[in-house]
Amino acid sequence: MTRAAENLGFSRSDIPELTVRVLRAGEGSRPDVRLLNVDGRLLVIKDYAAGANFAKRFIGRYLVQRELAAYMRLKRLRGVPPCYGCLDPYTLVTGFVDAQPAPEVDPSRLTADFFGCLLDLLRQIHSRGVAHADLKRLLNILVDKHEYPVLVDFTAAVIVGSSPLAALVLPHIFENDLRGVYKLKKHYAPALLTPQQEAFLEHRCLGERVFRRLTGHFREPLQKLSGGEP
């Protein structure tokens, strides 16, 4: 699936001039992530082509399309940044959300209401056939100025119908998404973690352990191929 960025009014050559700051330098297999100001509108670009070798471009093109597919399923869902498509096959453009990573906010902001909204957001995402698949990285869970959760970085997303394998692994990935929420509770709001949630956090079935081993086995060679660190 290819979808050109919608009326953004800039090209790749404009990126340096429009950059407000580099959010993450594109080193190794990781994309260059920048905050841009385009005519007063703040946008975030994730660019796999900046200084990339052929392997990183090849892999990046696939990752951009997968993330784009996830965003298209989640259009107009509060708690997910708006996506404006691809500047080119290697660069995804999303809207900027004024929010902070949950692990970096005052823990008093991580209330029962916040976690209730976070679980509801996750249910809505799952109901649209998308698993985030990287909520164990707690920096992907943000808190906006209205104390509402925001989920970012759908690079690893698994989507219903995307492949025969997806049907097999999605139940385990949905559970892993929940574990990300409970992990956040355990580390930053432990008083809110129920015994049932703690037990769920600790339990991993055989199928999930096998899946984690397989993904770990293939991730390292791909990172080395594209010049990154495992």
Average pLDDT score over residue span 59-81: 96
* Domain definitions of the chain by residue range: 12-95, 99-225
pLDDT at 226: 42
Confidence of residue 212 (pLDDT cuts 50, 70, 90): low
How many CB atoms are closer than 10 A to CB 6? 9
Q: Which of 46-50, 135-139, 220-224 has the lowest mean pLDDT?
A: 220-224
Q: Tell whether the model's pLDDT for residue 222 goes beyond 60.
A: no
The predicted-structure confidence for 30-43, as pLDDT tens digits, reads as follows 899 999 999 999 99
In the block, which residue shows the tokens 């007063």?
A: 40
* 195: exposed, middle or buried (Cβ count in 10 Å: 0-12, 13-18, 19+): exposed
Distance CA 120, CA 104 (A): 22
Quickly count helices (H) and strands (E) in the chain. 6, 10
CATH fourth-level superfamily of 99-225: Transferase(Phosphotransferase) domain 1 (1.10.510.10)
Q: Tell whether the model's pLDDT for residue 210 goes beyond 50.
A: yes
Q: What type of residue sits at position 131?
A: A
pLDDT at 1: 38
Q: Which of 2-11, 22-31, 81-90 has the lowest mean pLDDT?
A: 2-11
Alpha helices in 21-138 (DSSP H): 54-73, 112-127
pLDDT at 75: 96
Architecture, CATH, for domain 12-95: 2-Layer Sandwich (3.30)
The predicted-structure confidence for 98-143, as pLDDT tens digits, reads as follows 999 999 999 999 999 999 999 999 999 999 999 999 999 999 999 9
Q: Tell whether the model's pLDDT for residue 204 goes beyond 90.
A: no
Average pLDDT score over residue span 58-81: 95
Average pLDDT score over residue span 19-48: 93
How many CB atoms are closer than 10 A to CB 24? 11
Average pLDDT of every residue of the chain: 87
pLDDT at 121: 98
**CA 39 → CA 8, 18, 82, 92, distances in Å?**
9, 9, 17, 19
Q: Tell whether the model's pLDDT for residue 72 goes beyond 50.
A: yes
